[in-house]
Amino acid sequence: MYRTVQLALVAALVTSAAQAADMPVKSAAPVPYTQGPWFEVFGGLSVAPHSIYGYAGGVFALNHNLNQDGWLLRISGGGGHYDYYRAVGLEQGVDFEAGNVSIGYQTFLGTTRLSGYIGADVEHHDNSDPLAKIRGTKWGVKGQGEIYAPIGNVGYAYLLGTMSSVWNNYFVMGKLGYNITNTISIGPEAIALGNDRFDAARVGPFVSITILPNVDLILSGGYSWDTRSNNLNDNSGGYGSLHLRALF
């Protein structure tokens, strides 16, 4: 069946390309960044063979400083469309929505930022196919972890992983960025995502551009492999995504 290749991106995708470096022991300094914004808003769009997904959300520092150790509140939601073949010549289209509210905590080891979240997750798939593995509404628990580590002034490494009990959705993304200038970085990304009805692997380049102070635009694209394809459905092909984030 033609499967969506885009659920767990809710998350975002996707979500936060931002602050920290290697992993030395934390020094006696009060924080690696003395001042900072207290919330981030983000949004984006991802397109892959036979699927499209848009999302938006925010991360709020409960101590009013995203650049210090502390508790976080994360809210995100999105929706999209995918299609697949139920049989030869019989195509099924599905609209879906997803949402998540999580509490989290972040800490700094030197300038490397580590963060983790856990919270409530929900998805709704408007699918009339009685044999579909994913249809209707389901609630569950979702966890997320992030590591952001600048590599001196040269670049940074970023790793994001999520897992949800809602149809076993998962999303793992790694990036390695090289700073061309203070406002532009480029590099490769690798992604694995899926749920009870599909699995996909993606590889491609990305570019991150600071278009305004505290506003970043991240564009990426490449090839997506449908690792659970069959004679009826194969969602392999090109993918592209746009992610926008702003700090306040």
- How much is the average pLDDT of 106-133? 97
pLDDT at 44: 98
**Is the whole model's pTM more than 0.75, yes or no?**
yes
Region 39-247: CATH code: 2.40.160.40
Total residue length of the chain: 248
Domains of the chain, by residue range, sit at 39-247
pLDDT, one tens digit per residue, over 61-100 is: 999 999 999 999 999 999 999 999 999 999 999 999 999 9
pLDDT, one tens digit per residue, over 228-245 is: 999 999 999 999 999 999
pLDDT score of 10 more than 50: no
Inter-residue contact 143 to 163 (CB < 8 Å): yes
Confidence of residue 36 (pLDDT cuts 50, 70, 90): confident
What is the CA angle 159-122-79, rounded to 5? 75
Burial class (CB in 10 A: 0-12, 13-18, 19+), 194: buried
pLDDT score of 23 more than 90: no
pLDDT at 82: 98
